[in-house]
Amino acid sequence: MAVPAQAETHSLGDDFVEAAERALAAGQPGQVSDAELERVLTAAVRLYAAKSESDKPPAQPITPSAVTPTEVVVMASDLIRAVGLNLWDVSMWFNRKKS
């Protein structure tokens, strides 16, 4: 018998978060494949951007105490490079006013 969605205690991201935490704790980030990481990050970026542009944007994209500034800059830099932007392009978006 299927369990109703509201009765589930396992959140959508739990499996990925648990796999990532195990890989990091073991000092082996390769335990999560590049393809799976790309798939999850692509979906997360698209969802965050959609929510950010909605009437009720998310409060923040990350838990600041859970990451280092270096980790944030590495990720942001790689995202910028992945889509072929440069810092001038980013500065235009960074300073734009949200409606």
Supply 56's token pair. Answer: 């009720």
- Residue 3 domain-assigned (yes or no): no
Q: Are residues 99 and 67 in the same domain?
A: yes
- Residue 52 domain-assigned (yes or no): yes
pLDDT tens, residue by residue, 1-14:
555 555 566 788 89
Residue 26: Cβ-neighbour burial (10 angstroms; 0-12, 13-18, 19+): exposed
CA distance readout (Å), 51 to 24, 27, 54: 29, 33, 5
Q: Are residues 44 and 69 in the same domain?
A: no
User: Total structural domains in the chain?
Assistant: 2
Residue with tokens 């440069």: 86
- Residue 8 domain-assigned (yes or no): no
Confidence of residue 36 (pLDDT cuts 50, 70, 90): very high
pTM of the model: 0.79
Q: Are residues 54 and 44 in the same domain?
A: yes
